Structure formats: structure tokens, C-alpha cells
Amino acid sequence: MRKWNAMRAWTLERPAKIAEGSEGPLVLRELPMPEPGPGEVRLRVAACGVCHTDLHTAEGELALPRLPIVPGHQVIGLVDAVGQGVPRTALGTRLGAYWLRRACGTCPACLRGEENLCERAEFNGLHGDGGYAEWMTVPFAYTVPIPERLDTAAAAPLLCAGVIGYRSLRLSGFEPGRSVALFGFGASAHLVLQLAARQGAQVYVYTRGESHRRLAISLGAAWAGRLDERAPHAADCAVTFAPVGDVVPRALAAVRPGGTVAINAIHMSDIPRMPYALLYGERTLRSVANLTAQDAHEFMALADRLDIRAEHTIYPFRDANLALRDMKASRVDGAAVLSVEDLSDESL
């Protein structure tokens, strides 16, 4: 019998490589119900998107500031408790929590409006327990309202895959009506494709998976091909999503002189040596690091206005490790989402 003040959560107690046939690195535990501190709200989690960053966390490819940790940072839930300083009107509202948990607000980066680069920033599912759980607490200032017409499961991946994709597209120099090349076609790229195409862009998608290429065309891509193929025209800009350094020279080769390649990856393998000619012609190569609260609010408004939805596969809460395995093996078209609501005592 479960304790009234306890919850179930998937915890990472030590990183481990995810392999076919293995149980997986996450362990199901019963933990104390979290209580919101000053400025925080508690979410009764309904759904949590499964992100490649969760995969990097579970396999130990990111520096882990604490263990054990509950992963998950694409979280939608209803507020059922508020901490000191949070208006009680927040109770019962449907909010989303994203990757950025808090920033210091006083460092030079924060004062420039670049809280994504704050050296003291904290992240959900890394510094603070995330949404692979029945409840989580999060600073109210770093949540975003979920538009009423967006379905919970389809909206959850928007909170990281969508928001960081939006930031990446913006930093690539994208302009409506121009062209953009996308390298890799997972959760983030399929949302960026919709965002760009619905603003009149020609979108070229490079991906190794045949099912991914079919999905890209169905979502409005002008062309979809393999990495060793070439789109009909050089793109004005490009975003890479695959955490593989070999993709970067290919992306530079796919943009016109003066174009920018933005790398959407928190972790990736080394970029290989490449000829200067790929960068010459005033091409720009830049990384994208994290996101800001403003990014989250701007993108969720755009997603509502442009009717951007995540193609998604729902996994029962008990299948968190399976979702990670399927993501690593590229078996998910679009995004994977853990369904957390309406768990019964017998469901696990």
C-alpha cells in the first residue's frame, strides 16, 4: 500500500550505457512527495516528453551535479500546491516546465538577457528533480502557460524540442520565406520544419531514416534525402540536430555563401578536420546553448498561432527505459512522451 505522502518516480542512481536487451539505467522508486519552496509551484504531472538530453544524462555524457536525480524537463501538469510568494490563483492552472530551472539574475549574462549562458543556471532533470515522476516542484517564474487548445501529450515535446529548436532557427538567421536545411530529423527537427514551412520557407531535410524522410515530406518539407545526397538548392541557413560531429561539414557545404549553420546539440562527438573552403565565403558556424524563459513564452505563442503539434508516441509510465532505448535506436518518429496521469496502484 502506498503512503499518502509518497510518489513514484524514475531515478538515475548511476549512469550506464543503454543497450538492447538491458533493463536500462533508470530505477523506479517511491519518494517523498515534494513540497514547493518560496516562489515555487508543485505540478501534478500529466505528461513528460522524452528528450535526447535525458539520454545523454542517463549515459553519463553530461556532468552530473547530483545523484540520484529524477530526469525529465518537458513537463506538463496542473498546479496543486504553491509556495510562499506565488499567487493562489495559480492553483489548478496547466503549466509547462522546461529545461531551464532558474538563473541567478545578477551575473553579466543574465543582465544582458542571456540567462541561458548564466554560469549559475540550474536545469530540470539535472540539478532539480524532473518530470519522470507523479509530482515535481519548479520555480513559478520558469514555467509557461499551456494554450488551452493544445493537447497535453502533443504539447509536452514543445517545451524543449520545440523551444530550443525555435532558438536554433532564430540564431541561424532564418527569415520567413527563405530556405533552411535541417540535418537529423527527430523530435526537435520535426517541430522546426513546421515552424519554418508555415512561415513560407523551403525546407530541406537530411536524415538517414526512410520513415523520417516520409514524415518530413508529409509535414511540408520541399525535399528530404540522405546525408550523402544534395538538395536541389543551397539553403540560406541550416540547423544540425544529430549529435554527430561529421554532420557539421556537410551542413556547411549545404548553405550558400553568407549563410549560418547553428548546432542544436548539448553534447556531440568531435567535429572532424575540414577544409577552410567549407567555411570561406563568410559562412558562420555557431552553437546553441540552452534556452531562456522568453524563448519558451514566444515559442508557445507561435505554436498556438501556427497550430504546431508534435508527432508523438505515448509510452506508459512503466516504460521509461524502453522509451530511452527506442530513442537511441531512432525507432521514434517525432517525439516520445511518458504518460504520467491516472496511474493506479496496480499499473506498475
* pTM, full prediction: 0.91
If phi over 0 gives left and psi between -120 and 50 gives alpha, with beta otherwise, what is residue 24? left
**What confidence score (pLDDT) does residue 215 get?**
92
Per residue in 178-212, pLDDT (tens digit) is 999 999 998 899 999 999 999 999 999 999 889 99
**What confidence score (pLDDT) does residue 346 get?**
43
Q: Are 313 and 334 in contact (CB under 8 A)?
A: yes
**What confidence score (pLDDT) does residue 343 get?**
61
Distance of alpha carbon 73 from alpha carbon 161, whole angstroms = 10
Measured CA to CA in angstroms, residue 165 lies from 12, 70, 127, 256, 307 at distances of: 26, 24, 22, 21, 16
**What confidence score (pLDDT) does residue 20 get?**
81
**Residues in the chain, pLDDT under 70:** 1-4, 342-348
Distance of alpha carbon 85 from alpha carbon 258, whole angstroms = 49
- DSSP 8-state assignment for residue 124: B
Q: Report how many helices (DSSP H) and strands (DSSP E) the chain contains, helices first.
A: 9, 17
**What confidence score (pLDDT) does residue 224 get?**
97
Residue 86, C-alpha cell as written in the block: 506565488
CATH architecture of 163-287: 3-Layer(aba) Sandwich (3.40)
Please provide residue 72's backbone torsions phi and psi, each rounded to the nearest 5 degrees: 110, 120
- DSSP 8-state assignment for residue 65: S
**What confidence score (pLDDT) does residue 345 get?**
47
Delimit the domains of the chain by residue range. 6-158+291-339, 163-287
Please provide residue 341's backbone torsions phi and psi, each rounded to the nearest 5 degrees: -75, 155
**What confidence score (pLDDT) does residue 3 get?**
64
CA torsion, ordered 55, 339, 22, 31, to nearest 10 deg: 90
CA torsion, ordered 264, 269, 274, 279, to nearest 10 deg: 20
Per residue in 6-53, pLDDT (tens digit) is 999 999 999 999 988 778 899 999 999 999 999 999 999 999 999 989
Specify the CATH number of the domain 6-158+291-339: 3.90.180.10
